[in-house]
Chain A
């Protein structure tokens, strides 16, 4: 596979469930990102990992727990979510910053519905 992949593509879960979202990048990047995008709202950056170290956590509730075991894989562990957490969750990756070309490449997203 090429690019950035995410699984599952769709997820429906109850508020008491525990689930995980997976992201994998095949681009040789070493920075990975989780974004949340609610209906008709801008992208919200949740977490940033650089060289497998979490470098940003933008006031995300503890019911979202990221994990980055290596530079190619990123997980988002979910537990006791709320209906307002229903959204499109996007993973992205990039090369190190500082250069002129540091665009991010996005995966297809996981559409999450919390009942």
Chain B
């Protein structure tokens, strides 16, 4: 089982709709989770982090975390064509108690928002 798993999509939604991106993880010890957005040919950009169960909202973005189910999601409300990108879910990797912030990334979900 992959440590962080995402539905690779592609996910296509119409402009103005809610896009829902999902991620599951295997390490029950993971405490925080990150969502990155990566435009084609560009580097990943951090857009959200969450470490408490429940919802965290930032503008049009809402991250949801359910530690019991080992599930984290990202909702994008009022989707815009400019939201079209690959979204990467990431969780810290406790590789034998490392002192550095290694992250394990999912394979990414490609989102397309069409006008």
**A94 close to B43 (CB less than 8 A):** no
**A42 close to B106 (CB less than 8 A):** yes
Binds B, one of A11-19, A62-70, A77-85, A95-103: A95-103
Residues of B within 8 Å of A43, CB to CB, are: 44, 88, 105
Given B44, B94, B100, which contacts A50 in the complex, CB threshold below 8 Å? Answer: B100
B92 CB, min distance to chain A CBs, angstroms: 6
B interface, by DSSP: helix, strand, loop or mixed? loop
Interface hits, B21-56 → A, CB 8 Å: 31-32, 34, 41-46, 49, 51
**A98 close to B99 (CB less than 8 A):** yes
Once the chains are docked, how many angstroms separate the CA of A111 from the CA of B34?
25
Residues of B within 8 Å of A109, CB to CB, are: 42-43
Size class of A's contact patch? 20 to 34
Residues of A within 8 Å of B45, CB to CB, are: 106
Residues of A within 8 Å of B102, CB to CB, are: 31, 33, 45, 48, 56, 97
B107 within 8 A of A: yes
**A97 close to B98 (CB less than 8 A):** yes
Residues of A within 8 Å of B76, CB to CB, are: none
A102 CB, min distance to chain B CBs, angstroms: 3
Residue positions of B touching A, CB distance < 8 A: 31-32, 34, 41-46, 49, 51, 88, 90, 92, 94-95, 98-103, 105-108
